Structure 1
Amino acid sequence: MRVAFVGKGGSGKTTLSALFARRLARSGVPVLAVDGDINQHLSEALDPTAGAPPFTAPPLAAHLGDIKDLLRGDNPRIASREAMVKTTPPGRGSRLLRLLGDDELHTRHVQRVGGVPLMVTGAFDESDLGVACYHSKLGAVELYLSHLLDGPGEYLVMDMTAGADAFASGLFARFDMTFLVAEPTRRGVSVYRQYRDHAREYDIPLAVVGNKVTGEDDLLFLKEEVGDDLLTHVALSPWVRSAERGHPQGELEGVNRHALDVLRGAVDARPKDRQALHRHAVHFHLRNARSWANEATGQDLAAQVDPDFTPPPAPHL
């Protein structure tokens, strides 16, 4: 199952992404964390100890051409890597990947951090200023998700870019479950209303996780603002504060471990709809083709859609 964490900057979505991925990994299930935020801090959150080894695996964006060549495989509808854009959906002949499979992409780009396999999209740096938007960095992971054949009992956890930018591309429609992290303030829930409307349009499951909650007043505010979409809450955590300082003390509080288990229960209860994920991929590809990609490539990219392709079921573990 593919899980996205979204929220405004500073809401704690990176922290919760890391806590959730670590709890899954410690339970023994296959899990892959993906840092898709413009500020690449998921590695630090997964291993907050002072002096933790640096993350050295190359970012996905640095090898986009190679990733395109791998994923297009023998698909006759994609003539070259140049003709393959971030929304190009798989078709007959495309290379479909298993989560953490024995392939070039996972071998090159995955590094274990804090006991969790991690991939990063790549930071937005000075060389990009004025010539690119951050969503160009997300092209590789968008292609990866479109070509991913994740199976039962497997989890991909992605820390998305903050605020409304999370749905500035079709990437937001590539997940089985989306958790919106909200602090108990008006600014904290502002992104919720925007994301809720987009999620409803595409029938994307969305649940709100209250964060940094200090008492009943905070919970009451969140319930009044988001209603039944409030799934659970994470209390203001001394453990998280000590971890953010590089010296985590003890272990995460029991009430917060329980909240993480509630999140997993919501993910596990969600049926996998592989056909819907593929329909979303095709929809956003056709929309991007019309708006910019046809002109950029000099081709009619609608022809890349294979009408006879059906995503196969994932083999059981």
Structure 2
Amino acid sequence: MRIAFVGKGGSGKTTLSALFSRQLARSGAPVLAIDGDINQHLAEALGHDGGDLGAPPLGAHLDDIKDFLRGTNPRIASREAMIKTTPPGRGSRLLRPLGDDELHTRHVRLAGDVPLMVTGEFDESDLGVACYHSKLGGVELYLSHLVDGPGEYVVVDMTAGADAFASGLFTRFDLTFLVAEPTRKGVSVYRQYRDHAREFGIRIAVVGNKVTGEDDLLFLKEQVGDDLLTHLVHSPWVRSAEQGSPQGELEPHNLHALNLLREAVDSRPRDWATLHRHAVDFHLRNARAWADRATGQDLAAQVDPDFVPGPAALD
């Protein structure tokens, strides 16, 4: 199952991504966390000591990732012809979560007790010539070529605000958790996400964060209605962990909230046909808007009409 955490900058989405990933890992579930935020802090939130993680960032190796994933797909002539929205087809190399393939062994490292992949930072060489979403191409291609099943979790800490809608990446998830503080600014991103998500049939669930009392909770209920799944209260444990010396255990209410998140994810059935249809739709949009001109090719021809997504494709 694929889960995204989004929200306003400072809402606590990275903290929630880490808490949820750690809770899954400690339960024994196979989980992979991906840092897809322009501010790369998920490793530290997962308990890494702040040194070099040693995981080559996906964004710096996009050409190699393309070469690997296109496999023997005859519809993709070269890495230059493959863009971040190119969907898999017959001959493409499909992935199992945390497999022993070249991509996972190269790019995944443990942060605390959670396997982690990172997109990489926005550095000086990118200033004025690139947008951060170009670095997210590796994540989008990874999810498009991933064949994951129930009880397997991929948790992505996304860019802040509504920036995720700058690409088709927002359609690649089974469930998106929107982390919202009980303030007007906190719920403003929710309204943007809600409107875009409805257009594409994307399921979102709001997670209230930094709730200090009944007034905060009532405010969130009034603003987001039935989309409010649960909430977390101020956590001394999180604060001590962020200071590098966690004391005790996560509070019972917050632990219960994390369990509710997992229940919501597990109750969401995977719709392979819809996932693939979204991938194809966004690929065709990009082809028409810029990619055909950039590559000098008709990239609509990369869509394999006979490709059947999901576990059957592994055969």
Query: By the TM > 0.5 criterion, same fold?
Result: yes
Three-state SS of the structure 1 residue aligned to 2:291 is helix
The offset of 1:245, in angstroms, is 1.3
Equivalent residue in structure 2 for 1:227, among 222, 225, 228: 225
Report what 1:165 is aligned to: 163
Report what 2:26 is aligned to: 26
Under a length normalisation based on structure 1, what TM-score does the superposition of the two structures give?
Answer: 0.97
Report what 1:3 is aligned to: 3
The offset of 1:313, in angstroms, is 2.2
Tell me whether 1:212 sits opposite 2:226 in the alignment: no
Report what 1:82 is aligned to: 80
Contact preservation (8 Å) 1:8, 1:182: yes
Report what 1:151 is aligned to: 149
Q: What per-residue deviation string (whole Å, max 9, x for no partner) do you get for residues 163-186 of structure 1?
A: 010211100000000000000000
Contact preservation (8 Å) 1:91, 1:306: yes
Tell me whether 1:92 sits opposite 2:62 in the alignment: no
The 1-side partners of 2:50 and 2:58 are apart by 22
The offset of 1:312, in angstroms, is 3.2
Three-state SS of the structure 2 residue aligned to 1:266 is helix
The offset of 1:53, in angstroms, is 4.7
The 2-side partners of 1:200 and 1:276 are apart by 14
Q: What per-residue deviation string (whole Å, max 9, x for no partner) do you get for residues 208-238 of structure 1?
A: 0000000100000000000000000010111
C-alpha spacing 1:209/1:314, structure 2 compared with 1 (3 Å): farther
Partner amino acid, structure 1, of 2:102: E
The offset of 1:96, in angstroms, is 0.5
C-alpha spacing 1:6/1:127, structure 2 compared with 1 (3 Å): same
Report what 2:40 is aligned to: 40
Report what 1:294 is aligned to: 292
Report what 2:138 is aligned to: 140
Three-state SS of the structure 2 residue aligned to 1:28 is coil
C-alpha spacing 1:86/1:248, structure 2 compared with 1 (3 Å): same
Q: What per-residue deviation string (whole Å, max 9, x for no partner) do you get for residues 250-295 of structure 1?
A: 1111100000000000000000111111000000000001111111
The 2-side partners of 1:108 and 1:190 are apart by 39
Matches within 5 A, 1:154-303: 154-303=152-301
- Give the 4+ runs in structure 1 shifted more than 4 A: none
The 2-side partners of 1:22 and 1:68 are apart by 30
The offset of 1:162, in angstroms, is 0.2
The 1-side partners of 2:90 and 2:116 are apart by 29
Three-state SS of the structure 2 residue aligned to 1:220 is helix
Contact preservation (8 Å) 1:151, 1:314: no
Tell me whether 1:123 sits opposite 2:121 in the alignment: yes
**RMSD over aligned Cα atoms:** 1.3
Under a length normalisation based on structure 2, what TM-score does the superposition of the two structures give?
Answer: 0.98
Contact preservation (8 Å) 1:149, 1:314: no
The alignment-based identity, stated in percent, is 81
Partner amino acid, structure 1, of 2:18: A
The 2-side partners of 1:314 and 1:37 are apart by 32
Partner amino acid, structure 1, of 2:44: E
Partner amino acid, structure 1, of 2:6: V
Contact preservation (8 Å) 2:150, 2:266: no
Structure 2, unmatched stretches of 5+, are none
The offset of 1:54, in angstroms, is 3.1
Q: What per-residue deviation string (whole Å, max 9, x for no partner) do you get for residues 186-215 of structure 1?
A: 000000011011111111111000000001
Three-state SS of the structure 2 residue aligned to 1:212 is strand
The offset of 1:308, in angstroms, is 1.0
Partner amino acid, structure 2, of 1:148: L
